[in-house]
């Protein structure tokens, strides 16, 4: 996607409300999906645009992650540009499809850095892919903002690497507390995606917290990224008679896991993490009222929150993307541009006009690091000394095709 438009006026306050003021009323009409740098906004970026790179899974087994994020990014960029851009310059985004693979992530990020000379890079969603590409951005001194990778390792990979979401020691603890306190579970089973840093991390943090809280992990099983048959793991899990089954995986396999669990008579609630969040989750579990009905997962935000800013975002998103309900990835993609534009505003215009120079990117890095109290769709974002955001998590319950808000867990 190259999104650009002539700046109308300078943006005074780059908060979510200001960005949204310009995107409501359905001005986000995405005409096509940009893959591999093919523009969707109608040709090359406008002269004087500030280039931002984005890498994500637009194809492959996690493709809703990439598309939702990209829609949110696009919506935010349109809002920023309609409000005058940053220092009078429109933002342009080059999104590259990494196909959801580590090799893909490395190669497209290298390509973005060499061909676009971006001011900053947005991505990835999946922690394993952010971990893969972060050292490349850090070595090139290009600020990288992951909207949604939650594994702690991501931001340890260098001073140019940031995220605007909470991390998994918190998310795993939130799930464990919910299992103990609300579900009154004493015995938990865990089914882990063994090749996924995110899933391995959540397994560890959930286990620590659940056992510290007096619970017991009665069985822990693994699966691989290409597995489609989980019956042997589920049979072993059922034999231990757990009160809850924690499945910290991605939506593509969670649906079939739920179906197969119910098929063998394992009826306990399933509990998951943000990796469940996808418009395809419920479909994979047999549709509304199917195998995931009543199960719970921790997430970044609830789109049913009546907060007017959130509802305005939901309306603008629906108007721009065929009536689709945004997921939290869309909101986080949106907020990552908001945080970036806000930091650029604070970094000031470079004297030489070069937004891709090492000197400017160092200033921008410092400005991102200094982000405090940015009001986003997904909550108030303050970047801490470890370049992570500290934010609450919500617990959602699956009801039909929707997610019902259950509770908020504060850090």
Chain residues that interact with ligand PHE, rule: CB under 6 A: 65, 125-127, 148-151, 198, 274-275, 277, 328-329
Nearer CB in complex with ligand PHE: 162/198: 198
How near is the Cβ of 170 to ligand PHE at its closest, in Å?
12
How near is the Cβ of 100 to ligand PHE at its closest, in Å?
11
Kindly report the number of other CB atoms within 10 A of residue 183's CB atom.
15
How near is the Cβ of 222 to ligand PHE at its closest, in Å?
17
How near is the Cβ of 130 to ligand PHE at its closest, in Å?
7
How near is the Cβ of 127 to ligand PHE at its closest, in Å?
3
How near is the Cβ of 343 to ligand PHE at its closest, in Å?
22
Nearer CB in complex with ligand PHE: 45/123: 123
Nearer CB in complex with ligand PHE: 116/274: 274
**Token duo for residue 196:** 């996924």
Q: What residues contact 9, with CB distance under 8 A and at least 6 apart?
A: 83, 84
SS3 143: coil
Nearer CB in complex with ligand PHE: 11/191: 191
How near is the Cβ of 48 to ligand PHE at its closest, in Å?
34
Nearer CB in complex with ligand PHE: 37/256: 256
How near is the Cβ of 386 to ligand PHE at its closest, in Å?
16
How near is the Cβ of 65 to ligand PHE at its closest, in Å?
6
Nearer CB in complex with ligand PHE: 13/401: 401
Nearer CB in complex with ligand PHE: 45/248: 248
Q: How long a stretch of residues is the chain?
A: 411
How near is the Cβ of 282 to ligand PHE at its closest, in Å?
15
Helix (H) or strand (E) holding 51: strand 50-56
Question: In whole angstroms, how far apart are CA 145 and each of 53, 54, 142, 263, 370?
Answer: 10, 10, 10, 41, 14
Nearer CB in complex with ligand PHE: 141/204: 204
Nearer CB in complex with ligand PHE: 15/329: 329
Nearer CB in complex with ligand PHE: 97/274: 274
SS3 79: helix
Q: How does 214-250 read in b/e, with b if 16+ C-beta sit within 10 Å?
A: ebebbbbbebebeeeebeebbeebbeeebbbbbbbbb
Q: What is the DSSP string of 163-179?
A: ESS--HHHHHHHHHHHH
């Amino acid at each position: 996607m190259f999104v650009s438009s002539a700046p109308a006026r300078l943006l005074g306050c780059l908060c979510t409300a200001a960005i949204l003021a310009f995107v409501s009323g359905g001005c986000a009409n995405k005409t096509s999906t940009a893959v591999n740098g093919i523009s969707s906004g109608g040709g090359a970026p406008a002269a004087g645009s500030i280039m931002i790179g984005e890498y994500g899974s637009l194809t492959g087994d996690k493709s809703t992650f990439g598309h939702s994020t990209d829609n949110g990014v696009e919506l935010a960029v349109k809002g920023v540009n309609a409000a005058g851009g940053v220092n009078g310059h429109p933002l342009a985004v080059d999104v590259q499809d990494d196909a959801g693979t580590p090799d893909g992530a490395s190669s497209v990020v290298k390509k973005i850095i060499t061909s676009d000379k971006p001011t900053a890079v947005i991505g990835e969603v999946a922690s394993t892919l952010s971990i893969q590409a972060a050292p490349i951005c850090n070595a090139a001194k290009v600020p990288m903002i992951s909207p949604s990778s939650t594994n702690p390792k991501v931001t340890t990979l260098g001073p140019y690497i940031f995220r605007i979401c909470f991390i998994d020691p918190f998310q795993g603890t939130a799930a464990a507390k919910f299992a103990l306190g609300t579900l009154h579970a004493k015995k938990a089973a865990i089914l882990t995606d063994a090749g996924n840093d995110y899933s391995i991390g959540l397994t560890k943090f959930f286990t620590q917290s659940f056992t510290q809280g007096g619970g017991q992990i009665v069985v822990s099983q693994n699966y691989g990224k290409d597995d489609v048959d989980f019956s042997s793991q589920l049979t072993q899990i059922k034999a231990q008679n757990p009160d809850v089954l924690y499945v910290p995986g991605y939506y593509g396999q969670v649906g079939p896991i739920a179906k197969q669990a119910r098929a063998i008579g394992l009826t306990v609630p399933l509990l998951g993490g943000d990796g469940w969040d996808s418009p395809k989750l419920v479909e994979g579990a047999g549709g509304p009222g199917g195998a995931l009905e009543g199960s719970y997962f921790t997430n970044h935000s609830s789109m049913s929150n009546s907060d007017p800013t959130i509802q305005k975002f939901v309306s603008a998103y629906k108007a721009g993307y065929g009536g689709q309900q945004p997921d939290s990835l869309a909101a986080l993609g949106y907020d990552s541009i908001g945080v970036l534009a806000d930091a650029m505003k604070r970094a000031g215009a470079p004297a030489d006009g070069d937004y891709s120079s090492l000197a400017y990117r160092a200033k921008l890095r410092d400005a991102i690091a200094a982000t405090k109290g940015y009001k986003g769709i997904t909550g108030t974002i303050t970047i801490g000394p470890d370049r992570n955001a500290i934010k609450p998590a919500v617990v959602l319950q699956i009801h039909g095709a929707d997610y019902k808000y259950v509770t908020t867990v504060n850090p």
